[in-house]
Structures are given as C-alpha cells and as structure tokens.
C-alpha cells in the first residue's frame, strides 16, 4: 500500500522459494543489490478498461494457485482489495491509480518531506516494503545516488511487473531493483539495510506488528525503520450533504480496512518491536481542484457504498454530482492527515 501504492500494497508471507536467499555480500561490501531470490519470470501487467462513472470490470487471467503468496490469507471481514491485488479483475486500474496519485503535487510533497525526515542519504542501502509501482522507490534511488542501492519488494506480481517496467525507464535504474516478496517474511537472512520503510502499507495488512518486526530484523544496528500511513479518521471533504458524506466515507473505511485509523498507531508499533528514538511527522494531503486521483478515490468510495448496501445507486450518484458542482463553483476541498514515524535500531548492548 502507496502501495503505491500502495500501497497497498503490500505484504504477506512468502512461500519457501522466496525464503531462500541467492547469496550474501561480504561484510562491508556495499556495491551490490542486497541478496534476494531471483525474480520470477513471466510477470505481466494486467489490462482493462474504464467506462462511465463506476468501474466496468472484466475478468483477468487467473493466477496459478502455486503462484499466490500464501500468508495473511486468513478470512477477513474487511474486503480490502489492496491485500490481494492480483485477485482483482481490474488490476490495471490500481496501477493507474497509484501512478496518478504519485504525480499529484500534494503527494510528491508528502513523500519527499517524509524521505527527508527519515532521513535517506547518499550511499545508503534502502529497502521499501510494499513498493507498489515504484513511485517512492524512484525517489529513493535518486537520493541514495550512485553509491547507494534501492530495493523494493511487493507481494503482488502485477505491481512488481509494473514497477520493473516503469523503473527500467528511469535514469537511476542501475541502482534500483524490484523483487517479489512478502512483508511478513522478508527473504534476507541477516541485517543489511540502512533504512527499511513502508509507505501506505500498514493500513492494508492483517498483522502490522509482524511486518514492522521483519523490517527491524533486516535493518542494520544504527539504521532506521520508517512507516507512513494516512488516517481515515482525519478525512475532511467539502460537500453540500455532510451527513451523507460521513455515511459513505466512514461506512466504506470501516468496512474496507483492517485498521482505517492506522496513522495514529505508527509510533506505538515501532516502540513495540524495540525501536528507540521514535519521532513523528504529521502532514496533510490536500486537493482543491479534484485531481484525477481524488476523483477516482471518491468514485471508488461511491461504488463500494452501493456494493455494500450503505446507500442506493441513485444516492451515490447524487453525492458524486455534488462534488462536480463544488468544483465548478471553486469550493471543492479535500484533506487527509498522513503520519510518518521513524525509529532507530540501536546496537545491542554487550
């Protein structure tokens, strides 16, 4: 979850072939990409089409059962599609949405400020868990420079394929890699990263503590673990019908996510796995023009509110029409808080 994200991105335990590493660096050797298994061949992005207000879905090719990451697939009362992107019939729309979100000025500011807050520096080896299409990963690669390395992992084969395709065109592609792996069982036998981070991922996973614990495990002593997430309890969106807006936004968030208020939990998660010197950054996503990302975000809320019986289709359409009228009048506003927490893994005491 970023990812892109999503996130979502995201994270579930890997099968045995992922857990086996493909060789290790010698101590002090920092010029190679961290050791992981070889990428699975044949990953291809899925295709689809959008028509009309709601998403018109078509069935994508099924994944073979052996190709599905088995962890974190316990039954859940929260049908969050980011927990299993590859099972969705409109995967291409998730990819497009993650990239559209990454292009918005407010999102660029959010992630760049968070990366500075960590901070990520030239020459570091950085792991991003739940890298999605690689929006944040591309920024990381630019920050670590020619002496550093940026590795992204994601449990979705479709997102990994998209990230590889998009990063292959980037100027810094030589110091950037993307792998298929799960956040609950990272395929690294020893600590080897200066920074491990997850951006808009924790919101989507069923066992956040396990993911953060794994991130801390693979981080070198003295390194940092960083997590950033939105908090749906802080969404403020202008609309003529505030009661209906609360009904749709709150109802969908409570039904969809394991923890819709995950942003406020992040510092506690870092402390729970033994990290020290925990710091908190609060930032705000804002939109006053109804960008394509925000428009899609609101349309998906309306669609799910209808699917889950929260409102009737005609009511959802009226709700969306209200935003169109606000944009025309220059009165549209949407904001949502993002929280970023960073903790340090201190060297073990003798």
More confident residue, 312 or 38: 312
Number of independent structural domains in the chain = 1
Cα-Cα-Cα-Cα torsion 85, 91, 93, 97, nearest 10 degrees, comes to 30
CATH at residue 177? 3.40.50.150
* Range of the structural domain that residue 212 is part of: 81-233+258-285+338-344
Examine residue 219 and state whether it is found in any structural domain, yes or no. Answer: yes
Q: How are beta strands 125-129 and 193-199 bridged, if at all?
A: parallel
Strand positions, DSSP E, 3-42: none
d(CA 94, CA 113): 24
- Give the pLDDT confidence score for residue 76 in this predicted structure: 53
CB pairs under 8 A, 24+ apart, for 42-48?
43/157, 43/158, 43/160, 43/161, 43/164, 43/180, 44/158, 44/161, 45/91, 45/92, 45/95, 45/158, 45/161, 45/162, 45/165, 46/91, 46/92, 46/158, 47/92, 48/89, 48/90, 48/91, 48/92, 48/93
Examine residue 10 and state whether it is found in any structural domain, yes or no. Answer: no
Out of 58-67, 120-129, 195-204, 322-331, least confident range:
58-67
- Give the pLDDT confidence score for residue 247 in this predicted structure: 96
Q: Tell me: pLDDT of 34 over 90.
A: no
- Give the pLDDT confidence score for residue 350 in this predicted structure: 58
Q: Tell me: pLDDT of 12 over 60.
A: no
Out of 69-73, 152-156, 343-347, least confident range:
69-73
Arithmetic mean of pLDDT, 206-215: 95
Tokens 């920092």 belong to 30
Arithmetic mean of pLDDT, 246-271: 93
Number of other residues whose CB lies within 10 A of the CB of residue 265: 20
- Give the pLDDT confidence score for residue 175 in this predicted structure: 86
d(CA 3, CA 87): 16
Give the mean pLDDT of the chain.
80
Examine residue 108 and state whether it is found in any structural domain, yes or no. Answer: yes
Examine residue 50 and state whether it is found in any structural domain, yes or no. Answer: no
- Give the pLDDT confidence score for residue 97 in this predicted structure: 84
């Amino acid at each position: 979850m970023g990812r892109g994200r999503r996130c979502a991105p995201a994270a579930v335990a890997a099968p045995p072939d992922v857990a086996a590493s493909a060789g290790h660096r010698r101590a002090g050797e920092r010029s190679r990409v961290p050791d992981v298994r070889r990428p699975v061949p044949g990953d291809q992005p899925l295709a689809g089409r959008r028509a009309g207000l709601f998403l018109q879905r078509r069935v994508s090719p099924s994944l073979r059962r052996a190709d599905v990451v088995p962890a974190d697939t316990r039954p859940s009362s929260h049908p969050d599609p980011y927990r299993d992107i590859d099972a969705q019939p409109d995967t291409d729309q998730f990819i497009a949405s993650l990239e559209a979100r990454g292009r918005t000025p407010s999102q660029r500011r959010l992630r760049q400020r968070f990366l500075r807050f960590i901070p990520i520096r030239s020459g570091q080896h950085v792991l991003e868990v739940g890298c999605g299409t690689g929006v944040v990963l591309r920024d990381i690669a630019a920050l670590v420079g020619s002496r550093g390395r940026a590795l992204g992992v994601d449990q979705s084969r479709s997102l990994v394929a998209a990230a590889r395709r998009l990063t292959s065109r980037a100027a810094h592609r030589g110091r950037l890699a993307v792998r298929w792996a799960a956040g609950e069982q990272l395929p690294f036998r020893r600590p080897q990263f200066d920074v491990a981070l997850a951006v808009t991922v924790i919101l989507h996973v069923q066992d956040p503590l396990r993911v953060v614990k794994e991130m801390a495990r693979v981080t070198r002593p003295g390194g940092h673990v960083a997590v950033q997430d939105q908090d749906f309890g802080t969404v403020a969106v202008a609309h003529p019908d505030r009661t209906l807006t609360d009904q749709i936004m709150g109802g969908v968030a409570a039904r969809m996510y394991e923890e819709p208020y995950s942003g406020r939990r992040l510092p506690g998660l870092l402390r729970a796995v033994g990290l020290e010197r925990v710091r908190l950054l609060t930032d705000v996503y804002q939109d006053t023009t109804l960008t394509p990302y925000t428009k899609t975000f609101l349309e998906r809320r309306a669609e799910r509110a209808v699917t889950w019986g929260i409102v009737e289709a005609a009511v959802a359409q009226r709700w969306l029409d209200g935003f169109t009228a606000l944009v025309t009048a220059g009165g549209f506003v949407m904001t949502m808080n993002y929280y970023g927490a960073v903790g340090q893994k201190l060297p073990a005491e003798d």
